[in-house]
Amino acid sequence: MNESREQGRIEKIWIKRSFRGPMDEREEARLLAGRGLEGNANQGGARQVTLLEQERWEEITSRLGAGVDPKRRRANILISGLCLRDSRRRVLRLGGCRLRIGGETKPCERMDEALQGLKDALWPDWGGGAYAQVLDDGSIRRGDPVTWDD
């Protein structure tokens, strides 16, 4: 069952310029319904936006004995204060926009490039975050509230 916390916030937003390309941090970004983040390399499909939970990231990297910038996870949005575990099919509100969680984002081999053992450490219990489909057009900003909308 999801460990629901009342409200979180957007901590960081990243746009991926190209496949395997750099992650550019933004203060603000535009979500496009059915597509994802405007300007992001991944558009449409099931994984329109990827989300990472700040507290879970810090817990896992701390356990491995290293501080690793969450940008290395290559997710689009870092949130705090809200648990993503077991949230498949739930609706998440970021500012004025809604996303439907599609499932858990499993980590790839690039995580071990950031820190040896990180891929395996992120594998269980939604440690790698979640992916979602965008339900509404609109802008999101760093600091916007994040809540469950279902």
Catalogue the E-assigned strands of the chain.
8-16, 23-26, 28-32, 36-37, 49-53, 77-80, 91-94, 97-104, 130-134, 138-141, 145-148
**pLDDT tens, per residue, the chain with 150 residues:** 444 448 999 999 999 988 888 899 999 999 999 999 999 998 999 999 999 999 999 999 999 988 899 999 999 999 999 999 999 999 999 999 999 999 999 998 889 988 999 999 999 999 999 999 999 999 999 999 999 997
Q: For the chain, how long is the longest CA-to-CA vector? A: 40
**Is the pTM above the cut of 0.75?**
yes
Looking at residue 49, what is its pLDDT? 97
Q: Judge residue 125's burial from the number of C-beta atoms within 10 Å of its C-beta, 0-12 exposed, 13-18 middle, 19 or more buried.
A: exposed
pLDDT of amino acid 52: 98
Tokens at residue 134, please?
Answer: 């965008």
